[in-house]
Amino acid sequence: GDRRVWRSSPDAGLDASASRDPDSCAGGVCPARRNGGLSFAWGCQLSGGAKCRLRAGDGLLSIAPEARPAVSLAGIQTEGHSSVTFTVTVSDATGARRASASTTLALDDREVDSVRVRRVSRSLDRLVYEGETSSADGYLSWKVDGPGVTVLEQAVIGSTGGGSALAADPIPPAAVPTGWTGKQFILDLTAPSALIPGATYTVTLSSTGGGQGSLDFRIGLPPSGGACAVSPSSGTAVTDPFSLECAGWTAEELPMSYTFGVARGAWSEASAVWTPASSASRFTAHFDAGTYHVSAQVGDAAGGTALGEPARIQVSAMVPQRTNQTVGSDDDLVLEAIGGALSGFFRLGQTSQLLQVAGSVLDGLQQGGGGAA
């Protein structure tokens, strides 16, 4: 996040170790810190667009390609500039996936305490932040700025406490259960407030020691922009595989996950059988005869979800065409298809339907065998 720092600080405090590659996360779940195999490229720019130069030697600043490089602000020529911006580009081992982030440090001529802000957790219901200061007696206060919200902060009087102004109505006390002062700040997103979905806001932590830190957050929208298509829309029981594939979806909070639902007859989200969430955007299964509807629920890392349009599948009963020359191959075909059917319903977690499919196939084999005999 952005911060206010002393321009002669020995350390800029750069940290990109929270970066992660969604493709390397099992089951669509990424650990909080996983950067093995990632590459980091840093850049530095002063206010006005000038590149950062070393105080000694006048050469351009070179930053080690690490997740947490050590950079001394005191060693950079910052005179005449009000801020310095560091940018990091993170890429995976193949270089195909990459993302960038930047932080701007406002430069102060006086020594100020170091203030750090980090987001502890985020969900659809709340945002939780923690802050700290290098000053032992620093008094911390929070504020939120953005569209539809006035500057909301507690007045800071004294280094260890004192009177404070009440927060204005756009973000009422019910939305900030821990208040506007202290080391922890919680924003309850379920409480009525003036926060606008889709808008970006800034949470800022200030200290009486002059330090300041901030992070942006966005009132996220659920995944959008995509569609899910079934193929084929009709086929034969047990032998034909049916697939539902989702494409084109985007989300603000990665990684995305997919869960697929199957309902027999008319579509009902409540009665549908759902697969566990995973990073796979394609689902394939076999069905017995009947009419089905399938759909997918697309989720993001913050808990936002979007439901794809349900698609209809018509499955016809399988009728083997038996002759004295083909009876063996037909049986082999059906028996081979049982494996696919069992696998599909196993992924759905439906033991009862799994047994029904297996039972109907075995009944058909027994009846067919009796006729041939």
Quick one: tokens of 277? 């969430």
Single-letter residue type at 363: D
Q: What pTM was estimated for this model as a whole?
A: 0.58
Q: Which residue has the tokens 């992070």?
A: 215
User: pLDDT value at position 241?
Assistant: 92
How do beta strands 200-207 and 212-218 pair?
antiparallel
Are 177 and 109 within 8 A, CB to CB?
A: no
The verdict on 362 and 307 lying in the same domain is yes
The verdict on 270 and 298 lying in the same domain is yes
User: pLDDT value at position 45?
Assistant: 96
Give 141's contacts (C-beta < 8 A, 6+ positions apart).
153, 154, 155, 156, 164, 180, 181, 205, 206
Nearest to 140 by CA among 216, 211, 201, 188: 211
The verdict on 48 and 168 lying in the same domain is no
User: pLDDT value at position 346?
Assistant: 45
Single-letter residue type at 11: D
Are 149 and 194 within 8 A, CB to CB?
A: yes
Alpha carbon distance 95, 335 (integer Å):
45
SS3 content of the chain, % helix, strand, coil (to 5): 15, 35, 50
CATH code of the domain containing 183:
2.60.40.10
User: pLDDT value at position 322?
Assistant: 58
By the 10 Å C-beta count (0-12 exposed, 13-18 middle, 19+ buried), 44 is classed as buried
Bridge partners of 117, per DSSP, are: 131
The verdict on 105 and 126 lying in the same domain is no
DSSP-based three-state secondary structure for 364: helix
Are 71 and 14 within 8 A, CB to CB?
A: yes
User: pLDDT value at position 199?
Assistant: 86
What sign results for the dihedral spanned by CA atoms 103, 104, 107, 108?
Answer: negative
Give 373's contacts (C-beta < 8 A, 6+ positions apart).
none
Alpha carbon distance 309, 298 (integer Å):
11
Single-letter residue type at 31: P
User: pLDDT value at position 334?
Assistant: 58
Q: Is the peptide bond before 147 cis (omega within 30 degrees of 0)?
A: no
Q: How far is CA 118 from the centre of its chain?
A: 17
The verdict on 149 and 236 lying in the same domain is no
Domain boundary among 170, 202, 220: 220
CATH code of the domain containing 97:
2.60.40.60
How do beta strands 311-316 and 234-236 pair?
parallel
Domain boundary among 178, 195, 220: 220
How do beta strands 140-146 and 212-218 pair?
unpaired
The verdict on 167 and 95 lying in the same domain is no
Are 334 and 288 within 8 A, CB to CB?
A: no
The verdict on 213 and 95 lying in the same domain is no
The verdict on 178 and 73 lying in the same domain is no
User: pLDDT value at position 325?
Assistant: 56
The verdict on 259 and 322 lying in the same domain is yes
Domain boundary among 111, 132, 162: 111
Which of the residues in the chain have pLDDT under 70? 22-36, 150-169, 320-373
The verdict on 107 and 121 lying in the same domain is no
The verdict on 294 and 350 lying in the same domain is yes
Q: How many structural domains comprise the chain?
A: 3
By the 10 Å C-beta count (0-12 exposed, 13-18 middle, 19+ buried), 80 is classed as exposed
User: pLDDT value at position 192?
Assistant: 84
Q: Is the peptide bond before 232 cis (omega within 30 degrees of 0)?
A: yes
CATH code of the domain containing 263:
2.60.40.1080
* Residue-range definition of the domain harbouring residue 215: 113-220
Single-letter residue type at 189: L
User: pLDDT value at position 170?
Assistant: 83
Classify each residue of 245-277 as buried b or exposed e, where b means 16 or more C-beta atoms within 10 Å of its C-beta: bbeebebbbbbbbbbbbbbbeebeeeebebbeb
Q: Please, where are the H alpha helices in 219-348?
A: 327-348
User: pLDDT value at position 159?
Assistant: 31
The verdict on 190 and 128 lying in the same domain is yes
